[in-house]
Each structure stands twice: as structure tokens, then as C-alpha cells.
Amino acid sequence: MQRTQLDHTSPIPLYYQLKEIFKAKIDRGEWSPGQLIPTENDLISFYKVSRTTVREAVNALVIEGKLEKKQGKGTTVCREKMEEKLGRLTGFAEEMQSRGLVPGARVIETKEVVPPDVVREKLLPGNNETKVLYIQRIRLANEEPIAIERSYWPLEIGALFKDYDLSTIAFYSVLEERGIRLRYADENISAIATKKSDAALLGIETKIPLMRMERISYSTQGNPVEFTITDYRSDRYMYKVRLQR
Amino acid sequence: MQRTQLDHTSPIPLYYQLKEIFKAKIDRGEWSPGQLIPTENDLISFYKVSRTTVREAVNALVIEGKLEKKQGKGTTVCREKMEEKLGRLTGFAEEMQSRGLVPGARVIETKEVVPPDVVREKLLPGNNETKVLYIQRIRLANEEPIAIERSYWPLEIGALFKDYDLSTIAFYSVLEERGIRLRYADENISAIATKKSDAALLGIETKIPLMRMERISYSTQGNPVEFTITDYRSDRYMYKVRLQR
DNA sequence: AAGTGGTCTAGACCACTTA
DNA sequence: AAGTGGTCTAGACCACTTA
């Protein structure tokens, strides 16, 4: 086919032209998934280029995950790869909904407090004596207790919540409505033994440990927005994350 | 320096040896961030290798994000990106080193097994009766037991490990040496109660729960490479991750 | 034994940057 | 004009897979 030939007069590198030709063949299905593509020697003589050029084109597609090479066997077209859903920053409600569960909350306590040192350091770097808003809730999925959530918010952030029902509020949605957009959050995850009081709140036995998630969220301006400690029952909850190499 | 010279008799490719030498120079700060490294011609005459070999080594580090090339100007060491440190796919050894600890391992058991259904489904989708390599180790940080690691590998992957000491091996480095590059891993994290036998292996009391991390890693071709369950003592280990909104 | 991709050499001409 | 990395050639020997 004329249109799949190389243009030696073009300023576009030959290996790049070749790579695009190969990619088109894959997309059109001319080279189909699982099938062996022509050998390096075939490609060299057909396109009249050197081995280096063929290998540069093929290797670029290997890095893109479209081709797979096996020494001694040959090069095959990769079977389609699974979708990549990344570890996104979401709230409890959003997460439960994505798992097909109905999220809920039962409020235990709300008050302004002088935060523990470890919280103040992260949430109010610089400031010393300021109070913060403290909210303790039981988080529910399909009416069942799943976690104990203790969150700390700078007062100017907490003020945004005062017109909302804390048993149904989705904090992150309220923040976005008010123009505070989250950029990222750092999380520390560990396991802890279950205290009798927490076991009672969750309706479990103390022999079931808790998974503790500490989260500090930052706005797009780089300011800390929230410090939250959530203790999940390990018999009902698993934390999922995808890591990139 | 003698130890940074190439071994032409080794079965390890020259470009890979060169890449490791360059990486060490970057880590030691001999080549510092923002600084130009020697030109291709300098490297060719110093190491007595061809241009192809130098370029293969340098390009591998460009892909890893450690070096940056600019036509006409030269090649520089990338300035460190803070955000890349968290949420990256790393092995235990790499992670402990980044925390300033000396990683180690004590091998408990190695054998070929028919994997549990849950492992087979993930590691060998499609296949039914195949065996896999099973390795159980105690992971150490500064000689202290930190976790129990149980890993399953397809036999063709496991075969790559047979010339290595399992008490010092860094699996991911070996895979990369053999041309298997990891793209991402899915992890499930939960808390579990500590069994007496596991408490004994780790030298802790059963009242300290374990943090369980299940990891499935995938290669750039999209094939499952590893299924590993690691149970960490919760009094010595915390899992850190950064989430993006 | 034959065929595959993996590694490596020595050399050439080019585009881009800086002096 | 001189120096940098970018592209490309022709060839060699090797390790691995399959017949």
C-alpha cells in the first residue's frame, strides 16, 4: 500500500514514521491482539531501513504497552489492557456510593477545641493557640456502623458547615461549592487494637482490630484544610489504592 | 575509581552496568541535580564503549525520570520532584532505604505450589492447573522483624530468581535487569488480628494487630507479575500514600 | 539447526545551541 | 565555528525458543 511507505525526504524521523505505520496497523486490526508481527529482518527488508531504525520504532510501542517482545519467539500485539482508575481523593460518601452502598452518619459530638499537638502542627503550621472545630461521627454504610470518624477543621473552614446537617453533609462537596478546591491529601494507614468504648460504638467485639486512616487534605492554594482520623472495622472495610511505577 | 569500571566478562549487559554506575553517581551526588553530566563522547572514550551503549544507558535513566536530555546543550540530572516520592510503586528494600533503615530478609520457605483460588484468579487469568513459585520470608529493618511476606510468582518469572540469594534479593531490580518493567500495582490494605504463630515469627504479642497489604503488580505489557501478601506489625510500620483530587 | 530478538561496534550526517 | 545530542547505516556475535 502506497500510504504505508516511508518518506525518506521528510524531516520526520524514519523510526517515528515507522512507529506511526505500526500503530495504524494495530488500530485497524491488520495486526491483531496476540498475533505475531513480522520479524525484524522482514521489516528491515520490506521498509529498506536498518535494524536500529526498526528496533527504535518497535521499542517505542513496547514502552507504550501496545507491543510485547519475547526473545527467541517474536513480537506480538498486546491484548487490550484494563482501565486505569487511580487512587483518587474522595470522601467517605463518594467512596461508599461507588461501592454501591448507601452512606450515612450519626453525630456523636461537635465542639471547638484546642487541638492535640500532632494535629495543630499539621493543620495550623505557624499558629499556636488557635482553636479548631472538632466533629466526631459514626459512619454508616446501608445503616450499618463502619467507622468512627474524628475530624479537625480550621474555624474559618468549619464556619462553612454551620448551615448543614452534619448527619448528611458531604464535606468535600460543600467546600467545592464555596470555592475551596482540594489538591491532594496525605494519608497514613495503620492497624490498631480496638478499645472497649470504640467496640461498643461500632457494635463489634474487641478482638476485631481497626484500620486507622489519618488524612491531611490540602487546598489548591496549598493550605491544610482538614485533619481526620478514621478508624474502620477491619471485617467490613478494605482500603484500595493503585500505585504507579 | 576502580569499582565504577565495566566488567566485559559479565553476563550483565554493558549498557545496564553503565546505567547502574550512572545511577550511583546521581545518588551519591557526584552528579548533582541541575548539573550537566559528561558528554556522550566523553563517556564513550572514558568507558571504552560505543555510542549505542552509552545512549541505551542514558535513555533508560531518562525514562526513569532521573536524567534530562536537551539537543545541542547536553544532559542534566533532574531536580528531585517531591510529589513523586509518595504513592510510587516500590519494593520493601527500596522503601526501607528511603526511610533510612537497612532492609533485610529471613527466608522461611520456598516451593512450587498450586496457588489458592483467589491468587490464581488474579495471577494466572485463564490458566487453570498451573503451579506458581511461593516464597515466604520475614522482612527485617535494621535486623528487627517488621513483616511476614508471602509472595506468589508465575514460574517463568520465578525462574529469573534462581541464581539469587533470597535473603538479599531485590525482586524489582532483578525484574528490570531482565527487561520486565512494572507499570502499576493494585493494593488492598486491611487490619487483621495476630495469630500466635505469626506473633512468634515477628517477636510481638498477639494483642498488637497486623496491617495486611495485598499487592498485585502488572508489567508494562499488562501481565500480572506478582501476588504478595505482607503482614506488617502495626507498632513499627505505617503505610503512607498521597491521593490527588 | 534455524530463526527469533538482545547486545554491541564503528562510523556517518544531521539539527540545535552557544560562543 | 565548535560542540551537543538525534538519527541512521551495515555489520557482528550472542541467548533463547522451536523444530
pLDDT, tens digit (0-9, with 9 covering 90-100), for A169-192 = 989 888 888 878 888 888 899 999
Tell me the mean pLDDT in the region A110-117.
92
Query: What pLDDT does B63 receive?
Result: 82
Taking the Cβ of residue A240 and every Cβ of chain B, the question of whether any pair is shorter than 8 Å is answered with yes
Q: Is the CB of B15 under 7 A from strand C?
A: yes
Residue A46 CA, nucleotide D19 C1', distance (Å): 26
Query: What pLDDT does A88 receive?
Result: 67
Query: What pLDDT does B147 receive?
Result: 96
Tell me the mean pLDDT in the region A39-67.
92
Considering only residues 30 to 59 of chain A, which have any Cβ-Cβ distance to chain B shorter than 8 Å? 52
Parallel, antiparallel, or unpaired: how do β-strands B144-154 and B132-141 relate?
Answer: antiparallel
Give residue A207's identity as a one-letter amino acid code. K
The confidence band for A205, taking pLDDT boundaries of 50, 70 and 90, is very high
Tell me the mean pLDDT in the region A41-56.
94
Tell me the mean pLDDT in the region A73-83.
73
Considering only residues 103 to 132 of chain A, which have any Cβ-Cβ distance to chain B shorter than 8 Å? none
Query: What pLDDT does A81 receive?
Result: 46
Query: What pLDDT does B86 receive?
Result: 55
Query: What pLDDT does B105 receive?
Result: 95
Q: Is the CB of B49 under 7 A from strand C?
A: yes
Task: Using alpha carbons, list the distances in angstroms from residue B197 to A203, A235, B204.
Answer: 28, 21, 10
Test A190 with B238 for CB contact under 8 angstroms: yes
Selected residue with higher pLDDT from A80 and B69: B69
**Residue (of B110, B128, B122, B131) closest to B218 by Cα position:** B122
Shortest-distance nucleotide from A40 CA to C1'? C5
For residue A209, the tally of other CB atoms under 10 A from its CB is: 27
Judged against a pLDDT cut of 50, whether residue A2 lies above it is answered with no
Sign of CA dihedral A166, A153, A203, B187: positive
Test A240 with B189 for CB contact under 8 angstroms: yes
Query: What pLDDT does A125 receive?
Result: 76
Tell me the mean pLDDT in the region A7-32.
89
Taking the Cβ of residue B87 and every Cβ of chain A, the question of whether any pair is shorter than 8 Å is answered with yes
Chain C: nucleotides under 7 Å from a protein CB?
Answer: 3-12, 15-18
Taking the Cβ of residue B193 and every Cβ of chain A, the question of whether any pair is shorter than 8 Å is answered with yes
Rounded CA-CA distance B127/B123 in Å is: 9
User: How many CA atoms within 13 Å lie on the side-chain side of A184?
Assistant: 13
Query: What pLDDT does A27 receive?
Result: 86
Which residues on chain B are in Cβ contact (under 8 Å) with A190?
211, 234, 237-239
Judged against a pLDDT cut of 60, whether residue A83 lies above it is answered with no
Query: What pLDDT does B97 receive?
Result: 84
Judged against a pLDDT cut of 60, whether residue A1 lies above it is answered with no
Q: Which residue of B has its CA nearest to A220?
A: B245
Q: How far is CA A242 from the centre of its chain?
A: 6
Instruction: Using the C1' atom of nucleotide D9, identify the protein residue whose alpha carbon is closest.
Output: A50
Q: Is the CB of B14 under 7 A from strand C?
A: yes
Which residues on chain A are in Cβ contact (under 8 Å) with B193?
207-209
Test B244 with A65 for CB contact under 8 angstroms: no
Judged against a pLDDT cut of 70, whether residue A35 lies above it is answered with yes
pTM score, two decimals?
0.70
Shortest-distance nucleotide from B50 CA to C1'? C9
**Angle between helix A40-47 and helix A51-63 axes, rounded to 10 deg:** 120
Test A210 with B188 for CB contact under 8 angstroms: no
Judged against a pLDDT cut of 80, whether residue A86 lies above it is answered with no
Q: In which residue ranges of chain B is pLDDT below 70?
A: 1-4, 80-87, 126-129, 245
Which residue is associated with the grid cell 456502623? A145
